[in-house]
Amino acid sequence: MKRRLLVGAAGPGALCVLIVLATGCPAPTPPKKPPKVDSPAPPNAALPETTSPVSLDGVPIPAADVNRRFAQRFQRANVAGADQVSAFRLKRAVIAELVDEALVREAATRRGLTVSATERDDALAAFGATFPSPASFERYMAGPNAADATRAQEILVLTRKLLGPPPAITDADVEAFYARNRVRFVRPAHRRGNEIVFIARPDADVVARVRDLRALRDRIAREGLSFAAMARAVSDAPSRDFGGDLGDATSQTLAPALWRALDGLAEGAMSEVVALDDRAVLLFGRERVPEVKRSLQEARPEILGAIEAARFSARRGELVSALRAAAKIEDRFTPRYAEFSEARFGPPAAGPAAEGPLRAGPGKPNVPSPRRP
């Protein structure tokens, strides 16, 4: 192979030597492209957790516990295409429950408090009395919720032991409750029901939201899903926190179109979707309540129960807040979904814990109903 050697001045004191192959210069080799790396999938709150999402005083809450309880509730509440915020909200509530239960058990263990078989059975019997019939409670306990229901009643017993005897309820307390809640004992006829509300968004006008809600209505009817559970999962209205409960609805509390739809429903039936200016609304009819006129003495047993339940709820909230403030809670779940919420499971640097006393629905006293897993 012939080569030519060229020598020339390239600058002061420098020589440039260029060797050119007679066959010519080969084409440059293109640089190698780096291997394609798939971007990690964004987090999906509806999928099972692979690691513990939260730890309490250095002890992880097992991911399996979170996944099992979440799956049970999400199965009842899920709808096709449910958004991430709904799944996140539901799973965060499940994790918060598990944290609170662990806090109560730890506090009870430190004080040597336990639950006997008799106490557990009595609590379950009281829980069963909240069902429409003994048969419905038996069916419930024969299903996948039995273990969680039993644990929930054990936690209830331990919580009452940690709180100690409740303060006495005086006649003045009863009279004050009657005066504050007179509408509860003297009120006109009304209707009860639930709502699911889809509010129009920049990417979905009222017509689109009506279409989405009709699809949801069809699925509820087809699969026999819980209307209240659906409301908790997907409704845009504040009533979602209470399963879409409308409270004591009358023609004075609802928009005319909604009242006409609700008043015409049979008990247990769903309305057609009602389109308002900025939202679509689906209604579920419950019982019709006749006019009520009850004296103080007639209402006294109910008032005593309501006051006791409300005080227990408030005291429980204070207990849980104190336990949270004293514990080291490492929340690894919420940061994964920072775009959905900035809330944390532990208390903020100053102020009360994230979880407060139980809340009641519209038109109801702050009386906690037994939790059904």
pLDDT, tens digit, 9 for 90 and up, residues 309-338? 999 999 999 999 999 999 999 999 988 877
> Per-10-residue mean pLDDT for the chain, 373 residues long?
45 43 53 55 76 93 92 69 74 93 96 96 93 91 88 96 95 96 88 96 92 96 94 95 94 94 95 95 94 92 95 96 95 82 47 32 36 45
Gap between the Cα atoms of 234 and 78, Å rounded: 8
The SS3 assignment for 206 reads helix
DSSP element (H, E) containing 329: strand 329-331
State the pTM of this model. 0.56
Neighbours of 308 (CB within 10 A): 14
Domain range 189-290, CATH class: alpha beta
The structure tokens listed for 146 are 């039995």
CATH 3.10.50.40 intervals, the chain: 189-290
Confidence at residue 113, expressed as pLDDT on a 0 to 100 scale: 97
Per the CB < 8 A criterion, the answer to whether 97 and 119 are in contact is no
Neighbours of 342 (CB within 10 A): 8
Confidence at residue 77, expressed as pLDDT on a 0 to 100 scale: 64
pLDDT in tens, 132-187: 899 999 998 998 888 889 999 999 999 999 999 999 999 999 999 999 999 889 88
Confidence at residue 9, expressed as pLDDT on a 0 to 100 scale: 45
CATH 1.10.4030.10 intervals, the chain: 54-167+303-337
Greatest Cα-to-Cα distance within the chain, rounded to the nearest angstrom: 120
Report the CATH fold assignment for 54-167+303-337. Answer: Triger factor/SurA peptide-binding fold (1.10.4030)
Listed in sequence order, the residues at least 6 apart from 73 whose beta carbon sits closer than 8 Å to its beta carbon are 90, 94, 229, 373
Gap between the Cα atoms of 347 and 326, Å rounded: 9
CA dihedral 255→250→244→366, nearest 10 degrees, is 130
